[in-house]
Amino acid sequence: MATDERQLAAIGATEIRVRGMTCHNCVRHVTEAVQSVTDVAGVLVDLGKERASVRWRPGATGDVKSVLQAIGQAGYSASVEDSASAPRRSNWSPLAGWRFNVVVGSIATLTLMVGEWIFQFGMTRWFQWLAFAVALPVQIFCGARFYRGAWAQLKIGASNMDTLVALGSTTAFVYSAWALFAGLPGHLYFMEAVAIVSLISVGHWLEALASDRAAGALRALLNLAPPTARKLGPNQSEFVVPVAALQCDATVLLKPGDRVPTDGKIIEGNSAVDESMLTGESLPVDKSAGARLYAGTINLNGRVVMRVEAIGEATALAQIILVVQRAQSSRAGIQRLGDRVSNVFVPVVILIALATGLWWGFAPEQARQVSGWLEPFLWSATRPDGALASAIFHAAAVLIIACPCAMGLATPAAIMAGTNAAARRGILIRDGTALEKAGDIDIIFFDKTGTLTQGKPDVIAVEDFRASEARGDAIETIAATLARGSNHPLSQAIARFADETLPLHDWSEHRGAGVAGTIELCDANLAPVKFQLGSLNWLQAAGIDLSAAENFACEWSARGSTILGIAARGQLAGVFAVRDDVKPHAAEVVAQLQQAGHAIYLITGDHERTAAAIAAKLGIPSGNVHAEIRPEKKAALVEELQRSGHKVAFVGDGINDAPALEQADLGIAVSRASDVAREAADIVLLNSDIQAMPEALGLAQATLRTIKQNLFWAFFYNAAGVPLAALGFISPVLCAAAMGLSDLIVIGNALRLRRWRK
């Protein structure tokens, strides 16, 4: 079993054999059909292997019957494949997939081209019989994939590119065979029939190779987690087990060079770990006891023992794979235009081909006059002798040159390439809609803590306002006792400031404001005292007099520090200056975004003086700073700007920013790998440094630009190609080559995103 198949099996996947797919437009239809089924978390469709790996949501029973039914309704046949019992197939075969058509069809096409174009045997009867003998097996065996695809679509009342290819090549072959057996003189089109099948097969083969490259990042993600792990037994014995057999709390040994099999925490040893494939950060991260490890990362130089904390779908890697798969199979709004045209495209082309055939068959002189009138402006047209031959020739050309695949691939090919390129940089773009929204943003809102700042504040100054005779326990110890129960970064900074802990009762947290609790002081003569620790505004609202802290607050807030106060018995007991340093590249990122035409806003719960000091360091205009904003008010502020006609992006660390991320036109979460499942954000930066922000927006905008270019090409190609083919300016052979080239242009343009640089 291939590595990616083992990984999918490890995280819960059902292997399904899908028959009838001929191109990546078919892959898209199968993907959309499978994802429409309830409880499907993601699907990876492999055109070459004719297989779909369906991943289920956690706790789902796996309704395989509904998946098979959905695929059948899309016009393809499907059956469950037990990957364990399936016969092993070599990774490469000279005649696998489209290669059979390419090899056999190319030999037949070259043989007939040499005979007709070089030796001029085309009008001799013996060569026409040879051409029939050569074309017949090509039409039957190489054309079988197109016939099966066309028939499968016809059964559900639909049509696709296979319909056009089957009609075009069959029309040329059947007319030529009838003329040959009837003994009619004139040119026959066996070479054209063979060339149509062969050249379009070459186009599909090249398309598959190009799309395979476009999906490289997803395949790399699937190959990250190893299939086995070194599990430690009760007596520290070491034995190799499949990753799928690991359970939470199991202990796993990692040696230098090992890939981490699943998410866990180090309980012994230390090492440097390469997390570049998950976060885009090239520098190794030092890890010691208590540090988190993520599936797929590489242990570089130390021996460590980890305890398994997450398996299967719960791992960060599985969540990233799910996000990338969802993005690649998503539909951008701009795709609706292409879809609407594609839905009616094939029937319209068939009608145009029929009208062309009737025109050349019943009014050949008029058709020749129109074609001849245009020749001085274009080039010499091809006009066969005889009304019937002309009708067949031009109708077949119209059928062949029309390419619904180019329109169908325009958006998904760009989304696939763009999301893959982003994933390689540690940027997760959730869907095609996010790409569109990124192109319209004019305001970017940054949450301060953990986004523009390090998110690891430290206490840099403290002042105790209690009377000296009443001090007893240190104010730092009292504050640390209160703060330890909170996960807020400022509370954690206070908690780290002192090691001792006092007895605490009736503790409570007021979200975004502070904490309160009753502490038993060391002095046994004193009754337990209720303390409040939090923002000065919160304490003031509680009736606490803050005049004693005015000088301290002015001095340290001007330096960019956040001021917290602690109060007891209705009086201010002390104040703390807590500073969270600005990230090293934050000012540079802000400048780059401003140069790109974005207005930058800062939002924070800090005091106005603190916010102004931070904004000055970052180069954010003072008028764009919103201070003393409670977490629940952030979304309302975003909505207010949206009502003014602005397109707003909100950048936050996700701790309390979910409502604002959801409200914004574009939500960007600055996150670590463990947080990738956050649903509120449209874009997730796996590396917590915002340095990737300009790159994320730039890549999203480049992807949207590529989608528009692809759609323009697809529409232009068909708008120009169909009338030229109808008037004889493009022969059926050139039409087949042009149709394959059209797909390659769309995919090749999308692949440029892999090399995109800001």
With a CB cutoff of 8 Å and minimum separation 6, the contacts of 410 are: 335, 338, 707, 710, 711, 713, 714, 746
Across 144-173, b (16+ Cβ under 10 Å) vs e yields ebbbbbbebbeeeeebbbbbbbbbbbbbbb
Tell me how far apart the alpha carbons of residues 234 and 250 are, in angstroms, rounded to a whole number.
Answer: 10
- On whether the CB atoms of residues 596 and 697 are closer than 8 A, the answer is yes
Question: Could you tell me how many residues make up the chain?
Answer: 758
458 membership: H or E segment, kind and range: strand 458-464
Pairing of strands 40-46, 77-80: unpaired
Q: Which amino acid is at 53?
A: S
Across 639-673, b (16+ Cβ under 10 Å) vs e yields eebeeeebbbbbbbbbbbbbbbbebbbbbbbbbbb
Strands (E), 311-442: 427-429
Across 367-402, b (16+ Cβ under 10 Å) vs e yields bbeebeebeeeeeebbbbebebbbbbbbbbbbbbbb
625 membership: H or E segment, kind and range: strand 625-626
Q: Long-range CB contacts (< 8 A, 24+ apart) of 291-295?
A: 291/265, 291/266, 292/263, 292/264, 292/265, 292/674, 293/254, 293/260, 293/263, 293/264, 293/265, 293/266, 294/260, 294/263, 294/673, 294/674, 295/224, 295/225, 295/260, 295/261, 295/262, 295/263
Structure-token pair, residue 327: 């993005």
| Spatial CA neighbour of 535 closest among 504, 511, 519 | 511
Structure-token pair, residue 264: 């866990």
Q: Return the residue matching tokens 């009760």.
A: 234
In terms of C-beta density within 10 A (0-12 exposed, 13-18 middle, 19 or more buried), how is residue 66 classed? middle
How far, in Å, are 29, 50, 377, 416, 471 from residue 81 at the CA level? 20, 11, 57, 26, 75
In terms of C-beta density within 10 A (0-12 exposed, 13-18 middle, 19 or more buried), how is residue 441 classed? buried
Farthest-apart Cα atoms in the chain, separation: 122
Q: What is the dihedral of CA 464, 468, 469, 473, to 10 degrees?
A: 40
Three-point CA angle 194, 197, 201, nearest 5°: 135
- Chain centre distance of CA 618: 31
| Spatial CA neighbour of 350 closest among 726, 669, 694, 751 | 726
Residues with active-site annotation: 447
Tell me how far apart the alpha carbons of residues 597 and 595 are, in angstroms, rounded to a whole number.
Answer: 5
- Chain centre distance of CA 577: 42
| Spatial CA neighbour of 206 closest among 746, 758, 754, 577 | 746
Structure-token pair, residue 713: 């090409």
How far, in Å, are 282, 490, 588, 599 from residue 583 at the CA level? 18, 17, 10, 20
How far, in Å, are 176, 402, 459, 463 from residue 137 at the CA level? 15, 25, 82, 93
